[in-house]
Amino acid sequence: MPIGYELEPSGAWDRLYRWFSKVSSRWVGAADELPPKEAMAGHLAAQRLAYDAVVHVSKLLKVGMTELEAATLLENYLKDHGTERYLHRAFAWFGSHSRFDEYQSYSDYHPSDRALEPHHVVILDVSPVVDGYIGDVGYTVCLQPDAELEKAKAFLLQLREDLPGMFGSTMTASEIWLEINQRIKDAGYDNIHSKYPHCVLGHRVFRVKPKTGKHLRIGNRSFGWFSLETNMVLMKMGLSATLTPEHIGRKLGLWAIEPHIGWAGGGAKFEEILVVEPGRCYWLDDNVPHVVEAKERQAKATN
């Protein structure tokens, strides 16, 4: 499928794909089943491990390090802390790669030999599986102060504040996607998650059978960067498992939400788990780095 999204279909095949996506998004199977409390604790542990990894590696970044080296540090951290399993292998994007410039196909999105420069914005993204529970996070930093990045982070935090209300409303997932897309454009940014496979704003998280050791994967290009086991579960769920511009099915369940925005030369995102219950929507954890750091900056500014 082509990279990117336009409101108007590009042709007959695109219209057919969008129709199929809408129809199939209504079939959820067990995708929207709400997990028991112990499962919530499992996803929370996986998410916190993921955040520990990205924060730890962000402090090890240095000029000249490559994206591949940063991704390896992320994977080594997870391995050292008890897991070699994942939804997808670690991503690291530097500079214009943080907004997916220069990419021609999805296989280009994987970490490369691009070397880190002082002004580069960096996005780190990991999705460990802990005791079968998936966590998936994205974290954005820069080696030096960057006013544009701070402005972007403030915008993303406003989206974070508003998203639970959107999911708790009568809006369909499609309408939420389009609303976020319009807010991004109105703020003067590019919608970078529209360049993700299926243009996803998020995807469901779930539990797989607990195992030790590495996940099975096939190849080293697009599909090979992802765990075969977890992606077989996503495929079984179908397109109800992805929050696309065509999703009109049920919203209940656990979602890894990942708004990603871009400006000239850089991009920023966050990713964390949103819990959608009947009559209640909330982030799985409010003690996450991008929220804590914003509160610390605000406290310093008022002192």
pLDDT tens column, 239-288: 788 999 999 988 999 999 999 999 999 999 999 999 999 999 999 999 99
Distance, in Å, from the CA atom of 123 to the CA atom of 119, rounded to the nearest integer, reads 13
Say which DSSP state 170 is in: S
Question: Is residue 4 situated within a structural domain?
Answer: no
For residue 271, the model assigns a pLDDT of: 98
What b/e string do you get for 177-211 counting C-beta neighbours within 10 Å, with b at 16 or more?
beebbebbeeeebbbbbbbbebbbbbbbbbbbeee
For residue 221, the model assigns a pLDDT of: 57
How far is C-alpha 148 from the chain's CA centre?
Answer: 21
- First CA to last CA across the chain, in angstroms? 51
The pLDDT of residue 32 is above 70: no
**Mean pLDDT value of segment 56-63:** 98
The pLDDT of residue 220 is above 60: no
Distance, in Å, from the CA atom of 33 to the CA atom of 253, rounded to the nearest integer, reads 6
Question: Is residue 6 situated within a structural domain?
Answer: no
**Mean pLDDT value of segment 53-65:** 98
| Average pLDDT over all residues of the chain | 90
Distance, in Å, from the CA atom of 122 to the CA atom of 120, rounded to the nearest integer, reads 6
Question: Is residue 233 situated within a structural domain?
Answer: yes
What is the total count of domains within the chain? 1
pLDDT-based confidence at residue 113 (cuts at 50, 70, 90): very high
Question: Is residue 5 situated within a structural domain?
Answer: no
**Mean pLDDT value of segment 134-157:** 97
pLDDT tens per residue, range 33-47: 677 788 899 999 999
Question: Is residue 116 situated within a structural domain?
Answer: yes
**Domain assignment of residue 275, given as a range:** 12-302
Question: Is residue 3 situated within a structural domain?
Answer: no
Question: Is residue 28 situated within a structural domain?
Answer: yes
The pLDDT of residue 179 is above 60: yes
Q: What is the CATH number of the domain that holds 79?
A: 3.90.230.10
- For residues 95 and 109, the answer to whether their CB atoms sit within 8 Å is no
Question: Is residue 2 situated within a structural domain?
Answer: no
**Mean pLDDT value of segment 177-192:** 98
**And the tokens for 32?**
């929207």
Q: What is the value of pTM for the model shown?
A: 0.93
Which one has a higher pLDDT value, 168 or 25?
Answer: 168
The pLDDT of residue 2 is above 80: no
For residue 31, the model assigns a pLDDT of: 60
- For 50, residues 6+ apart whose C-beta sits below 8 A from its C-beta are 126, 127, 128, 135, 136, 137
Q: Which of 5, 45, 8 is nearest to 210 (CA)?
A: 45
